[in-house]
Chain A
Amino acid sequence: MSDLSAPRHWPRGMIIFARIICPFVLAATFAFMELALAYRKGISDFTEGMRWFIHATYFTPFFLGVLLGHWFHPVPGWYRIMNDRLYKNKQMIPPIILLTIGGLLMGIGWGIHSEEAAPTHINFIMVLVGIVLGGLLWPVRVLPPAGR
């Protein structure tokens, strides 16, 4: 999550600010999105609204899968290939690509499952798709531990 907010060339103060504000922005985004959706569905209870949102779209399982793939991709050198060579160190490119794919999946999911929950296994498959694409397109830099 902080990858979006703390490019290394920023001044230290900016990085610190981004680190602190990032979780709050994320939480606020989810909260406002949820409130809008719950209002649209006529659902007053926050938890019920969130449960409906998760099961009616593929967005949440897909992006949790993306994060797993992003953090725990199997090839340590993959970051150099993707970031340094393909994206030319423009670190915003992979999240934008994945957000676009996630948005498309959300649209498809919403179109199919707007009134009811998605079948159980679909969300699991979306997690797997997210893992593969997250690891492939958005690998994190793998740092060696101290002393190695």
Chain B
Amino acid sequence: MTWASWTGIGLVVFIVVADVVLMLRKAPDGATTWSEILRVGFWYTTAVPWALSVWVGHWFPITDKPYFKASYVVVLAVSLIWVAAWDILKRKVRHNVVQSLAVTLSVIVGLIVGAVFWPMGTVN
């Protein structure tokens, strides 16, 4: 089996375990659905929308090949800087505008970064 198959199996196992955990204990912050749990997760870290957007961008890229070799290193570096910067800013400035900007830009920029620098099929 390939690493992609193992990743798929890992995701299924995660969902099943998470379902059982949610069944046994109350979800964080009163969330009642997976969607609400994901959104609540955004209050704590920008990594949630960022990672999912980069992943979707990876699956549906703009280009067939990345701009340069090993450009996925750029994705990792930008991810670390982006998430750390927004998480710090969100804790310093607790304003709705900052929250809205953080979630919107994380989705759009994450999508573009994944689509441009990490197009599907380039990293195995």
Contacts and interface: CB of A to CB of B under 8 A. Distances in A.
Closest 6 CB pairs of A and B: A123-B60, A145-B43, A74-B100, A2-B33, A2-B34, A140-B35
Summarize B's interface: helix, strand, loop or mixed.
helix
Summarize A's interface: helix, strand, loop or mixed.
helix
Interface of A: 1-3, 6, 8, 15-16, 19-20, 23, 27, 54, 61, 64-65, 68-76, 120-121, 123-124, 126-128, 131, 140-146, 148
A65 B56 contact: yes
A65 B56 CA distance: 8
Contact of A124 (B36, B44, B62): B62
B104 A74 contact: yes
Contacts of A19: 19, 22-23, 34
Nearest to A121: B62
Nearest to A64: B56
Interface in B50-75: 52-53, 56-57, 59-64
B39 A142 contact: yes
Contacts, number: 106
B88 to A, nearest CB: 17
Nearest to A77: B96
Contact of B107 (A8, A131, A141): A131
A145 B16 CA distance: 25
Contact of A145 (B35, B40, B53, B104): B40
Given A19-B19, A72-B42, A72-B103, A140 B36 contact: yes
A127 B40 contact: no
A65 B59 CA distance: 12
Nearest to B115: A124
A23 B12 contact: yes
21 contacts: A15-B32, A19-B23, A20-B19, A20-B20, A54-B59, A64-B56, A65-B56, A71-B38, A72-B49, A72-B106, A74-B103, A124-B57, A124-B60, A127-B111, A128-B111, A131-B107, A140-B39, A141-B39, A143-B29, A143-B36, A145-B43
